[in-house]
Amino acid sequence: MPSLGADMEDATLIEWLAKPGDKMKRGDIIAVVETQKGAIEVEVFEDGVLEEHVVAPGAVLPVGAVMARFRGVGEAAEPRPAAPAPAPAPAAAKPAPEAPSPVRPPPAAGPRASPAARRLAEELGVDLASIAGSGAGGAITREDVAATARAPAGKKAAGLDFTAMRRAIAAAMGRSKREIPHYYLSHTIDIGAAQDWLAAANAQRPPAERLLMGALFIKAVAKAAREFPEFNGFHVEGEFRPSEAIHVGVAIAIRGGGLAAPAIHETADLALADLMAKMRDLVARVRAGRFRSSEIADPTITVTSLGDRGVDAVWGVIYPPQVAIVGFGRIVMRPWATDGGVAARPTVCMTLAADHRVSDGHKGALFLERTGQLLANPGEL
Amino acid sequence: MTADQILAVIRDELARLAPEVDFDTADHNRPIQQEFDIDSMDFLNFITALHARLGVNVPEADYAKVATISGAQAYLLSRTPG
């Protein structure tokens, strides 16, 4: 079970999409798992052959647990027992996941629960007092908490569990506001040049190939992030780890509530047309409740854009362990001083929320200003 | 194509984008984006679908003319053969 985000501890196997004997290429979808973020397609990391399913759909697996045996190209086939073992042994290439922490007496009054269970309960918003423990001495285990959280299954639509998604948002945003000292900057720019460029580009294109302003915003942020590495990466284990790759997470609102911010990989290197095609594909899949493991796990910076029906500005909450989120408000006509006069110009308010443990306002201002400059020269994006 | 056939295509495509909105009780003279709570990406998908199904390429400059259901119906009717 791959880790699909810093806040993920386990997931449920929904279905296998490949069967033993299937030859697979890196990036092929092997299975679908259900996490708090919704159904996620798990990709294989290398070319090879799926040898054996180790677990069956319905299994709840902690991160690191063995799901299947997979033989990479060039690896020798493992000697296999003559008859399949009645219960698959947990031994495999990866070490078996650690057992839940031993139950300790609670520090104060209240239900007996392991620290891991308490942490999970807090993250999921589950009241420990409402759970009957199944552990030693009636202690509440992580699995008890998870089962309770799953019990009132939310309204399911299009593969999305809105209750679980709301809980995941609550956990990630709560952690962000507890741990990340945000600072905020805003910068309003004249977006007329980008609008004109877009109108001219789209006049030549059939609808299927048209670009949206949102693609320009994402590209500009990605290129600026390349020049300002302190906004692109992860704050983990007390230190900032900048990311070589720039995978911009795109905040996508989901009909009926909730949102997800999966990544568009190598954003800075994509031509606008390719970036737009990936955005369209991603939005369609997210709204259908299907995205891939690599998309959800590895955004290095996030962009949130209110679109043409939003309000003036959005102040983002950083998605941990990322360190920055750039927001774009709706494009609005504003009185704008130009060449000694005042004109009505299309403008957009850009915002930056960044992690003060990693960067300061001065750098943040330069980063945001650079993003604006890139949008002023859209032909070079 | 008849006005009814065009309306059926519009209904079909909007149901894909906003399945929970009742097409019949929606105000056909209000902007589709508001009435169906769809964003610019959805609207572009709507325009793309109209192009694919009816062969009518609505340029961006004409988006205002197809912003409502009534407007879109009239616009498409005048641009599809018989």
CB–CB of B39 and A308 under 8 A? Answer: yes
| Rounded average pLDDT over B46-51 | 96
CB–CB of B44 and A210 under 8 A? Answer: yes
The fold of A10-72 is: OB fold (Dihydrolipoamide Acetyltransferase, E2P) (2.40.50)
Pick B48's closest partner by Cβ from A199, A207, A308. A207
**Tokens in use for A324?**
């920055």
Q: Does A204 touch chain B (CB under 8 A)?
A: no
Domain for residue B73, yes or no? yes
CB–CB of B51 and A207 under 8 A? Answer: yes
| Rounded average pLDDT over A250-278 | 92
Q: Does A279 touch chain B (CB under 8 A)?
A: yes
pLDDT, tens only, A306-317? 988 889 999 999
Task: Please state, rounded to an integer, the average pLDDT across all residues of chain B.
Answer: 94
**Tokens in use for B74?**
């009239």
Residue of B nearest to A277 (CA): B41
CB–CB of B41 and A203 under 8 A? Answer: no
Q: Which of A3-12, A43-52, A358-367 has the highest mean pLDDT?
A: A358-367
Interface pTM, i.e. ipTM: 0.94
C-alpha span between A103 and A296 (Å, rounded): 32
The pLDDT of residue A187 is above 90: yes
Give the global pTM: 0.72
The pLDDT of residue A15 is above 80: yes
C-alpha span between A149 and A249 (Å, rounded): 27
Exposed / middle / buried, residue A329 (Cβ in 10 Å: 0-12, 13-18, 19+):
buried
Exposed / middle / buried, residue A380 (Cβ in 10 Å: 0-12, 13-18, 19+):
exposed
pLDDT of residue A108: 38
Question: What SS3 state is found at A295?
Answer: helix
Residue of A nearest to B33 (CA): A309
Domain count for chain B, please give it: 1
Pick B41's closest partner by Cβ from A203, A207, A280. A280
Q: Is the dihedral of CA A361, A367, A371, A372 positive or negative?
A: positive
| Rounded average pLDDT over A260-283 | 95
CA dihedral (A230, A236, A241, A242) in degrees, to 10, reads -50
| Rounded average pLDDT over A156-165 | 65
The pLDDT of residue A305 is above 90: yes
Query: What's domain A179-380's architecture?
Result: 2-Layer Sandwich (3.30)
- As beta bridge partners, residue B16 has none
| Rounded average pLDDT over A128-154 | 67
**Position of tokens 């296998």?**
A16
% residues pLDDT > 70 (chain A): 83
DSSP for residue B68: B
% residues pLDDT > 90 (chain B): 91
B56 band by pLDDT with thresholds 50, 70 and 90: very high
- The residue that leads in pLDDT, A31 or A159, is A31
Q: Does B55 touch chain A (CB under 8 A)?
A: no
Question: What SS3 state is found at A335?
Answer: strand
Which residue, among A329, A296, A362, has the nearest Cα to A217 in the 3D structure?
A329
pLDDT of residue A43: 86
Domain for residue B82, yes or no? no
**Position of tokens 């996490």?**
A35
| Rounded average pLDDT over A253-260 | 85
CB–CB of A256 and B20 under 8 A? Answer: yes
pLDDT, tens only, A111-136? 677 667 777 777 777 777 767 777 66
Question: What SS3 state is found at A27?
Answer: coil
pLDDT of residue A157: 40
Residue B34: list chain A partners with CB under 8 A.
309
C-alpha span between B3 and B77 (Å, rounded): 6
Q: Does A195 touch chain B (CB under 8 A)?
A: no
**Whether the Cβ atoms of residue A378 and residue A193 lie closer than 8 Å to each other:** yes
Domain for residue B40, yes or no? yes
The pLDDT of residue A104 is above 60: no
What is the DSSP secondary-structure string of A142-158? HHHHHHHHHSSPPPEET
**Whether the Cβ atoms of residue A88 and residue A54 lie closer than 8 Å to each other:** yes
Q: Does A202 touch chain B (CB under 8 A)?
A: yes
CB–CB of B39 and A256 under 8 A? Answer: no
The pLDDT of residue A100 is above 50: no
CB–CB of A210 and B41 under 8 A? Answer: no
Residue B63: list chain A partners with CB under 8 A.
none
**Tokens in use for A335?**
């009185």
Query: Which amino acid, one-letter code, is at B23?
Result: F
What value does the CA radius of gyration of chain B take, rounded to a whole number of Å? 11
Which residue, among A378, A362, A195, A221, has the nearest Cα to A300 in the 3D structure?
A221
Q: Where are the domains of chain A?
A: 10-72, 179-380
- The residue that leads in pLDDT, B38 or A145, is B38
Q: Do domains A10-72 and A179-380 have the same CATH topology?
A: no
Residue of A nearest to B47 (CA): A207
- The residue that leads in pLDDT, A139 or A303, is A303
**Best B14, B39, B50 residue to mutate vs chain A (most A CBs within 10 Å):** B39
**Whether the Cβ atoms of residue A282 and residue A250 lie closer than 8 Å to each other:** yes
Pick B60's closest partner by Cβ from A199, A255, A256. A199
Structural domain containing residue B55: 3-77
- The residue that leads in pLDDT, A157 or B41, is B41
Residue of B nearest to A287 (CA): B17
Find the CATH number of the domain harbouring B38: 1.10.1200.10
- As beta bridge partners, residue A363 has none
Query: What's the 3-state SS for A257-280?
Result: CCEECCEECCHHHCCHHHHHHHHH
Which residue, among A177, A151, A178, A179, has the nearest Cα to A164 in the 3D structure?
A151
DSSP for residue A237: T
A 60-119 near B (Cβ less than 8 A): none
